[in-house]
A and B are shown apart, each in its own frame.
Chain A
Amino acid sequence: MNQPEISAVPASASTSVSASPTPAFRHAAGPADMKEGERRIVMAGNISIGIFRVRDRYYAIRNHCPHEGAELCRGRLTGTMLPATQPRQYEWGRDNMILRCPWHQWEFDLETGRHVANPRLRVRTWRVVEENCQLFLEI
């Protein structure tokens, strides 16, 4: 369920833009000075996007919960009990990679944008690149 499908660029790989196909558009997202666990909400045109820094990588996810439209990126950044195969099997994982919607506590994986309870439901994510101490969203 939690297979990463979109890989964010390591913060240290500041010149790795060429690792992916040429994006259609790059949107400046401010200085690359975020601290571990910090978030920043930016506008790309009229789309609100949250940028998160977790374990030296940057992630971008749409600031809109597909459930009832809450500002998803205002929610708690946390981990979760991983999908289990047996009753009473509790294993904590995805630490600081789960964004919980502030309204109804739906869990979304920061990396894939997928709703953990129903992976068919997905929030848009974008690749973040760091270049010359600045962040850019590949839109």
Chain B
Amino acid sequence: MITTQASYTQRIDADVHVRWQQDSDLLPCLPRGWHERWLHGAGHTQAGVRIQPKLYDPCDTNNGSPVRTVGAQAADDPASLIRDWLEPHTLDAALLSVYDAPILSTFGDIVYPMEVARAINRWLADTWLEADPRFHGSIVVATQDPEEAAAEVRRAAASHPRMVQVMLPAGTQFSYGHRRYYPIYKAAVDCGLAIAIHAGTEGVGTSHPPTPCGWPGTLAELGVSRSTTFLGHLTSLVTEGAFVQFPELKIAAFETGIAWLPTYLWRFDKNYKGLRSECPWLTELPSAHVRKHFRFGSQGAEPAPDPAQFWRLLRSTGGDDMVMYSSNAPRWDAEAPDDSYVLTSCPSDKRERIWSSTALEIYPRLSKASAALSPTCSS
């Protein structure tokens, strides 16, 4: 591509999922003592029992085969991902994560999930990040022991310069404003990493049911309800002062939707005006914190029949500057750029932000890597 650096728009896909081809691929990165559980336990417990109701998911290609701990439905080979996704869509950067790995935070025990997380981070750096400079990585941790998780964030961040974020699951035991997570946030901020919260794990293992009022019975029900879990985290992070404690902390939200945000912030701001004394460390409106610290992936955005209404709603609280392109490739509900509601309907002056600068604002390591990769003026 021949262009100038000033006019070139990076094309960043902020949410792409990868996996190993066989469970045994992970063994070189995992201590010997855990091999048996990894290969044969294959679940939340040594016996392989999953301690949650299993939703029937008609779109899960893994249905019917033995339950795996992590790793289903994702690209399993760097060359294929480049050929089938990066090249056709001329992507300059893809943020990779092992789709199911954050499930480790919902295990009842502490040591094994942390060992697996360490192994996955090593595997991701060695197998993927080393394979192509367009690949960027997500660090996974088991949050059961936040201090140990923080140590792994620091180790993994130091292990590869293109580790750009820590990916946490939406389904949890404690909402993310809880101070138990502070060591993880401190490590992320110290290392220049964002915290990503990805929908999933609601109701899994030790996490709460997918909705506060009970259990959905189908994926049809669960998928629509997912925003509710994330807005619990957003409210908690803002109100409990995570951004006062860590002014550099940035949150990336994936598969949470975004059109609910403006009306939610209207209420959040309104309540704050009367209840400020409960959270006196907040000296700005909640919406101001959200605008500074949150960014949202485009995949899963709510496609209003009239896109003008969608963008007008977002613009009312600055949400149009908070959305970045994410595909969720290669899962069944992935959105290629040409299928992306956000990209295909956005005002023309927002395209560059959605493709590039919104993400660059929260991923300092991505900025550095992108600067190194940018096509230079060669014409």
- 29 pairs, CB–CB < 8 Å, chain A vs chain B: A1-B283, A67-B273, A80-B280, A81-B278, A83-B281, A84-B281, A85-B244, A85-B281, A86-B281, A87-B240, A87-B241, A87-B242, A87-B245, A87-B281, A88-B179, A88-B281, A89-B280, A90-B280, A101-B274, A104-B273, A104-B274, A105-B274, A107-B274, A107-B276, A107-B277, A115-B273, A116-B277, A117-B272, A118-B285
Which chain A residues have a beta carbon within 8 Å of chain B's beta carbons?
1, 67, 80-91, 101, 104-107, 115-118
CA distance A58 to B273 in the complex (A): 26
Q: Are A81 and B273 in contact (CB under 8 A)?
A: no
- The interface centre, meaning the residue of B241, B242, B281 with most chain A CB atoms within 10 A of its CB, is B281
Pairs of residues from A and B, 6 with the lowest C-beta to C-beta distance, nearest first? A87-B241, A105-B274, A81-B280, A117-B276, A84-B281, A81-B277
Near A by CB (< 8 A), chain B positions 298-328 give: none
Q: Label chain A's interface by main secondary structure.
A: loop
Q: Are A80 and B277 in contact (CB under 8 A)?
A: yes
Residues of B in contact with A, size category: 10 to 19
CB distance from A17 to the nearest CB of B (A): 36
Among A87, A104, A116, the residue within 8 A (CB) of B179 is A87
Nearest residue, chain B, Cβ from A93: B280
Q: Are B274 and A84 in contact (CB under 8 A)?
A: no
Nearest residue, chain B, Cβ from A67: B273
Interface residue B275 (Cβ < 8 Å from any Cβ of A): yes
Nearest residue, chain B, Cβ from A103: B274
Q: What A residues does B272 contact at CB under 8 A? A: 117
Q: What A residues does B241 contact at CB under 8 A? A: 86-88
Q: What A residues does B283 contact at CB under 8 A? A: 1, 83
Q: What B residues does A82 contact at CB under 8 A? A: 280
Q: Mark B271-299, 1 if CB is under 8 A from A, else 0.
A: 01111111011010100000000000000
Known: A1-B283, A81-B280, A118-B285. A86 touches B273 (CB 8 A): no
CA distance A1 to B275 in the complex (A): 17
CB distance from B4 to the nearest CB of A (A): 43
Q: What A residues does B276 contact at CB under 8 A? A: 107, 116-117
Q: What B residues does A117 contact at CB under 8 A? A: 272-274, 276, 285
Which chain B residues have a beta carbon within 8 Å of chain A's beta carbons?
179, 240-242, 244-245, 272-278, 280-281, 283, 285
CA distance A68 to B277 in the complex (A): 20
CB distance from B288 to the nearest CB of A (A): 11
Q: What A residues does B277 contact at CB under 8 A? A: 80-81, 107, 116
Q: What A residues does B244 contact at CB under 8 A? A: 85-87
- The interface centre, meaning the residue of A105, A106, A107, A117 with most chain B CB atoms within 10 A of its CB, is A117
Among A1, A89, A107, A116, the residue within 8 A (CB) of B281 is A89
Q: What B residues does A115 contact at CB under 8 A? A: 273
Q: Are A118 and B280 in contact (CB under 8 A)?
A: no
CB distance from B274 to the nearest CB of A (A): 4
CA distance A90 to B241 in the complex (A): 12
Nearest residue, chain B, Cβ from A116: B276
Nearest residue, chain A, Cβ from B275: A105
CA distance A84 to B283 in the complex (A): 8
Q: What B residues does A80 contact at CB under 8 A? A: 277, 280
CB distance from B180 to the nearest CB of A (A): 13
CB distance from A111 to the nearest CB of B (A): 17
- The interface centre, meaning the residue of B242, B276, B280, B285 with most chain A CB atoms within 10 A of its CB, is B280
Q: What A residues does B281 contact at CB under 8 A? A: 83-89
Q: Are B275 and A86 in contact (CB under 8 A)?
A: no
Q: What A residues does B280 contact at CB under 8 A? A: 80-84, 89-91
Q: What B residues does A87 contact at CB under 8 A? A: 179, 240-242, 244-245, 281
CA distance A117 to B278 in the complex (A): 11
Nearest residue, chain A, Cβ from B271: A104
Given contacts A84-B280, A89-B281, 6 further A-B contacts (CB under 8 A): A80-B277, A81-B280, A83-B280, A104-B274, A115-B273, A116-B277
CA distance A106 to B283 in the complex (A): 14
Q: Are B278 and A106 in contact (CB under 8 A)?
A: no
Q: What B residues does A81 contact at CB under 8 A? A: 277-278, 280
Q: What A residues does B273 contact at CB under 8 A? A: 67, 104, 106, 115, 117-118
Q: What B residues does A105 contact at CB under 8 A? A: 274-275
CB distance from A80 to the nearest CB of B (A): 5
CA distance A84 to B241 in the complex (A): 10
